[in-house]
Structure 1
Amino acid sequence: MFVSLTACFDGNGSGSSLNTGDDNPDVIASLAVTSYAPTDGATAVGTNSKVVAVFNKAMKPETLTQNSFTLQGAGETAIVGAVGYNADTRTTTLAPNGALTPNTVYTATITTVAEDESGANLLNNVEWSFTTAATTDTAAPTVNTSSPADLATDVLRNTKVNVTFSEAIDPATLSGTSFKLSKNSDSSVVSGNLRYVNPTTVVFSPASVLDDSAAYTLTLTTTLTDLAGNSLVLSSIGFTTGSEVSSSPATVDLGTAGNYVILAKTGISTTGTTKITGDIAVSPEARTAITGFSETLAPDGTFATSSLVTGKLFAADMTSPTPTQLTTAVSNMETAYSDAAGRLDPDFTELGAGEIGGLTLDPGLYKWGTGVLVTSDVTLNGSASDVWIFQIGQDLKLEDGKAVVLTGGALPENVFWQVAGEVTLQAGTTFNGIMLGQTAIVVKSGAVINGRALAQTAVTLISNDVNEPAQ
């Protein structure tokens, strides 16, 4: 379950090592900035704030300088300040020499000069903007949420501890002494790995399962500061383990909805040269809701064919028994959505504050009340029998050219994306898994789906490859 944390750095003397995830040898992902702070569009940023960005790969420090990482206010010259790289957290930080101008829009830019250890550069400049406040930031950061929650009981023994802060934390202040898990009975420090997922989210992964029915305390010290240097108030989170160790969740039963690679209630449309392997269907709408396929109705009227589909096309106004079969399939699709959405006791909640690009995710149940964004490749690593269920309260979006990558034998038919909002696969993306969408599924030019698109509204395609997995 949880986020796989490897390629450790050890040397903080506390039994914990910082880690930002290892490049998976099965995947060649482009160098990317996965998150940054202040965030794009942020307002009321203290005039004493630093700027930080997180990479998905280990970087060459010499390529991160005042020339490749700049900050400029509207109508001003570029800010002069120290630019540094933290290998433990794969972050670069720009610390201005003086205060920023109040009430001013600033633009941060990291150029394609930035280079990872393999010699690969950013494909494009990364740019974002924020607006300063009238004064400095003097507010102390706080803990927003944690998993396990404070005072939680019967916690899984292979839990990983996820803390989300109220604002960005300075990565230079994160260590095994400022973020420490201890066993209450003997005050022993739990060894493991720390992960700076993004500027507001930190994950601790114990090196081994925790003891049965034991009390633990996570201590967050005042050494942790925000980007303005304000110290976190000394905080602690206590929980007690149970006796269980988690395993993969049970698979989601698709019923007869699993007979279709695309199933939608209000329409399926395509433009360009789309290639679909598997059956597609729309119901309760009629065949006119399937557009762009130039389909031909079979002589018995029960299905249609298209040169774009290696399979059959079905609609609710076709000859019996098709309408009844589709009514059942749509009902099964809605039941599968409810099943996935209703799974309890997620292994991880609000991971990465919704940004999961660059992560490697082990099998398990993941839950977000917000949307989920993939700005660099995300990897699902597990065996052919492992299952992933993602509960997403808002939208799911893969940015241009990014991928959901399966390694270790993981199969797309065992990955379920339950999405309350819209699913958007930008141009050139590669998606693995079963989409259970409550609203629209929009697939941009050249995107590839290995799995199923099951939508309670419409599916829109543009020159895509859609490949049906095993049932």
Structure 2
Amino acid sequence: MFYTYKSYQNEGLGILSRLSKQAVLSILLLGCSFGCQKGDDTSAPLSITSTNIADGATDVDLKSEIRLDFNEAMDASTLTTSTFVIQRGVKIISGTVTCSSKTATFTPNYDLEAYTKYTCTITTGVISATGNALDNVYSWSFTTGVAPDEIAPTVVENSPLEAETYVLYDSHITVKFDEEMDLATINTSTFLIKNDDVMVSGTVSLGRNKAEFKPNAELSPGTIYTCTITKEAADLAGNTIENQHVWSFTTIPETISFNEGIQPIFKAQNCISCHNASRNPDLRNSNAYNSLINGQFVDATNPEGSRIVEMLNGSYHKDFTTQKDKQLILDWIKQGAKNN
């Protein structure tokens, strides 16, 4: 038997040796078509592996893009606003869809609305680069949060007032904003006080929406000071003021003028409506000084004991004038109560 098998084997090799190379290659390929068939494709079907906004997420940023990742590279032409759909109720949100390999992104044309539920849908019309399609529609939803603060803060009040005169030497300078501010942005680099080009040293404190500058020393008499809140001052959301806020004031001169510093107090506080010809002291412009002096309302030897000072600090008059007004009148008396 051994010799018989060997003879057959030699005969077969002889036949192959007589065939052309092309014929041998054809025989080998034909054999592979039967004996080397490829098995069934066991790769995973097309699926979505993740989304940047989880299903059921809340407090989502109104400026969000919606992204998702597939398990294989996609045919970008099949990812459109018809196959990647974002809805608010039944309203379809306008936007654009882009695709890069396995990632698709929906960018809304406008910010999303606050406290609103949105539904995202990927249809079976999306196809991978190898031709695979989703077996089922894929949907998820999320809810947005509060609208971001993008409004610039503004200064609504400052003290001393713009162009105010006779400001006390020990005054603190304050500004009030229309919202709570970031303490880190309100300091001596953003809250500036100057006398010409000379910077006033001091400390800055902030309580919610009010900032206060406290000079390290008393201000100089009869001096114009310029105050500036720079554009770096920001609210808690990081919004800075649109324009720097600038104003100025003038401190009390070394010599207080009765006509320019004291008489205007009586007019501003409407003291003249009561204190006129029918009641002393007569504080009308032409009579005020003589009425105060001759009526013994002023005691230059004991300024704090002057009747006018006691009246202004009494229970009846205490709310008719400010602390600044009272201090000016007292200082005028201390300077000799001059008719100047």
The interval holding the TM-score normalised by the smaller chain is 0.3 to 0.5
Please give the TM-score of this superposition, normalised by the length of structure 2.
0.35
Give 1 or 2: higher helix fraction. Answer: 2
The structure with the larger Rg is 2
Q: TM-score, normalised by structure 1?
A: 0.26
